[in-house]
Amino acid sequence: DSGVTQTPKHLITATGQRVTLRCSPRSGDLSVYWYQQSLDQGLQFLIHYYNGEERAKGNILERFSAQQFPDLHSELNLSSLELGDSALYFCASSVLAGVTGELFFGEGSRLTVL
Amino acid sequence: GQQVMQIPQYQHVQEGEDFTTYCNSSTTLSNIQWYKQRPGGHPVFLIQLVKSGEVKKQKRLTFQFGEAKKNSSLHITATQTTDVGTYFCAGVNTGNQFYFGTGTSLTVIP
């Protein structure tokens, strides 16, 4: 158990819909990263938040947005869903922005768009 | 943009054979980390390398960081079925951003 909690674990929805994925980082971790992993693919970096502020953006589509709340949990919003958005979405947390520590990954949210 | 390439993409080995995966970054890294993802699981941290030319060992796993801090390798000696999974390197830049390699999927044939 990494201590990172992601909900929901599985989500099936239709094209054009909007979903929200939630991540609770490990207690005390200020950094939250979101990654997308398509079938048999690598980990595509989406976005990084530190203590409520956006730190970096990766290959995140304009239809996607995220935020980190004062209690440090984060949400990834995916809208106008397309078939190609079907993937496993991982959240990972880390302790400090200025110090490189390991990433602790949640178990992921598997999104299926039909 | 920053890219981290990893080869090979897939590797099938007989149990007991050795295995190596290589990671190359387009830019100099602050440090590099390695993760293992078991089938159906999530990535789990293995190790971090920080110094130029650093070599670290964990039992049958040997990790190296290149002198120029742009490449790295993971070598597994005498693979076991428990080594099955996808191994990712993650290059970390000075801005503390993680760039994951494409991963190497290891299959160990008993």
Using a CB-CB cut-off of 8 Å, the residues of chain B touching A56 are: 95, 97
pLDDT on residue A98? 54
**Cross-chain residue pair A33–B45, CB shorter than 8 Å:** no
Residue A111: C-alpha distances to residues A18, A60, A101, B7, B30 (Å): 11, 16, 28, 28, 33
Three-state DSSP at B96 gives coil
Nearest residue in B to A50, CA atom: B96
| pLDDT confidence band for A42 (50 / 70 / 90) | confident
pLDDT in tens, B51-103: 999 999 999 999 999 999 999 999 999 999 999 999 999 998 887 788 899 99
- Average pLDDT for B105-109: 96
Residues 55-114 of A with CB under 8 A from B: 55-56, 90, 92, 97-100, 102-108
pLDDT in tens, B10-47: 999 999 999 999 999 999 999 999 999 999 999 999 99
Q: Which residues of B touch A (CB under 8 A)?
A: 6, 30-31, 33, 35, 41-45, 48, 88, 90, 92, 95-103, 105
Q: Which of A44, A47, A43 is nearest to A33 (CA)?
A: A47
pLDDT on residue B98? 87
pLDDT on residue A99? 59
**Strand blocks (E) in A1-114:** 5-7, 10-13, 19-24, 31-37, 44-50, 53-57, 64-68, 74-78, 87-94, 104-105, 109-113
Put simply, whether A25 touches B (Cβ < 8 Å) is no
